[in-house]
Structure 1
Amino acid sequence: MIQYTQVELLTLDGPAFRRVSTAPPRPATDEEIPIIDLSTIDGDLKAKETIATEVKAAAENTGFFYIKNHGISEELIERALTNARTFFEQTDEQKDLVFHAKFKNSVGYHGVGSSQINIKETKGLLPLQHVTSMDRKETFTLRYNPINDPSITDPTALLQNEKYSYGGDDSLWKGVSHLPSFKDTTIEFWQRRLTLARKMIRIFALALNMPENYFDEVTTHPGADALYVHYPGSPEAISQDVDAGRDIDVGIGSHTDIQCITLLWQDMSGGLQVLSASDEWLHAKPIPGTLVVNIGDFLQRLSNNKFKSTVHRVYNRQTTSRYSMPFFLGFNPDSICRVVPSCIDEEHPALYEPITCGKWHRDRLALAGSKGKMSAAS
């Protein structure tokens, strides 16, 4: 007999609960987490619509898929990974040179145990041992800066708008100036993923039966956060508990992403698990040459819940390190975003009121902060 527990998720409308099977995670099928080929993403409209059809099916099913032939070179990815490893192998004193509290906008270093993305799991209506997820990870975070955006020719006006978190990373780079190529490679990798994310959001527009440029005006200076993430190896005792099926999060707890879409590079360690439409945990195994894409809460909101922002978590079951490099795309902080017109009809009225993307992000982070400090990663 299948047994279930629940995870509590944070929303602006209060706690939401999702049923979860207690069965061990199983491999995902190709239909549950498909691989989508982007080799024609720069082609004509028909080629893009073909990709959009596949993306729509994935977005309405599990909300996760892989992309291959995405245009970001393996050479650049390897350089970025080398930088991540070099950074996290430093002493605590060296990493604290870029400790996030020294800068505005939470850029920089967040240490192990500095975040808690899930508070508890429950069984039935009663707490299940008040299980607290232990986010065993450390991160280096970079946020949007128009100076680094290849599509911005004159960033002056945006840099003067402090309300929306622009700039502020000049002193950040001074704290890593002793690491050769760290700044240049980190910015280059951020730029390439921003370019790819803008192409992907055009595909999502087509998947929502809208013109491909529908979201263009809200991605001119978007929320665009990039992280290097290190999951330290798990102590043997914790690894054994996880293997025995005990409800302990040893990487990052069960959560959904806040923004529109996430692009994720993960190493070959494994550990990313995705909650299926049938409430089962699925292994999102690493596949060489691919990135993982998943839907965030804001895109689910804009799609009137047609696209799924899926619960996921990370278990680092190994005694060795795991590395990942996620990139989160939101929309312009000052843009007012509404449910997409194609997702509304007489039988399906808009479920959400218009909201600026910046307010959405700030309110969600503030909500998380009231429950436990949060910094999402995969």
Structure 2
Amino acid sequence: MTRRTVRIAMNGVTGRMGYHQHLVRSLLAIRAEGGLDLGDGEVLWPEPVLVGRREPALRAIAERHGLTHWTTELDAVLTDGTDHSCDIYFDAQATSARVAALERAIAAGRHVYTEKPTATDLVSALALARRADAAGIRHGVVQDKIFLPGLRKLKRLVDGGFFGEVLSVRGEFGYWVFEGDWQPAQRPSWNYRSEDGGGITIDMFPHWEYVLHELFARVTSVSAHITTHVPRRWDEHGTPYTATADDAAYAVFELADGTVAQINSSWAVRVMRDELVEFQVDGTHGSAVAGLRRCRVQHRSTTPKPVWNPDLPGTESFRDQWQEIPDNAEFENGFKAQWELFLRHVALGEPYRWDLLAGARGVQLAELGRRSSAEGRRVDVPELVL
């Protein structure tokens, strides 16, 4: 076996997502398997270079996992010939810091892979995509939801024609994020400050764009109501602050194939469903409910005939009338699966469509969703081109 090393600058690994999903469960998991098999006797070995602002935290992570390369200087990983120079730049920082760092990486000729949203506004997101194309580098955006077991099963149903004509999609996402006074919040305080790139719309609408686009069709219009339900929160130091960013977004999306999608996103809702996110798809031939891992179906041939009678207690167990879709495969961590595809794209030039333009579509949908809410009207979503 021939081992080819690829050095990956990982900016933002001191955060929850960057550390757990991208470093530990993706790149370190690939290393634990002996590297990524490229075929023909060649293995790709990812070598993380940890980047961040907090030197003690970086050193602790490196020591914990036996890594030797870390730095607090971004330029050290973007300059050829330094001890920390990299081939790929990955960004999992707070959104407000992302554009400037990606611009520097692109200008240095590094391949880039980044969390979403790629920017907080469409102009900046499109500029990144154009610069990356002009630089001739390979670029990708994390779009993890479509790699989850539940949505992969749902995609299997779509591709197999299970639904007949798809009529509608209904999505519910969210959970109660504690305010931070009497219980610590589960999300960082910057998520609730618009000046720091926070807000559930810019966080979740990019997800909904690629989920709808990949599974059904392109979003052609949006009608949204966006609000801040909890205006006062407490930060990591117990200091109260005003939440300037939205914590709930209720939206109707029209798709190019005529499907109507309604998706509620909220950090101020208590969960009464099986998973933190669920999508119900209804079609002429059948329906499905998919979450992160599970997917259940009801075909038209087995659909019962409920009768509305509010004067009598219900006797039917509606959940029991649905059939579980089997795994039929071993599903890897969704972040790891996409990392492997991007690494093969860089190493072998294999096709990869989740690029910075795809990331810009998500930013566009969030921006137009905010406009729809502010103006109280339905807004068209034009197709993006570079």
TM over 0.5: no
TM-score by length of 2: 0.23
TM-score by length of 1: 0.23
Q: Which one scores higher on RCO, CA 8 angstroms, separation ≥ 6?
A: 1
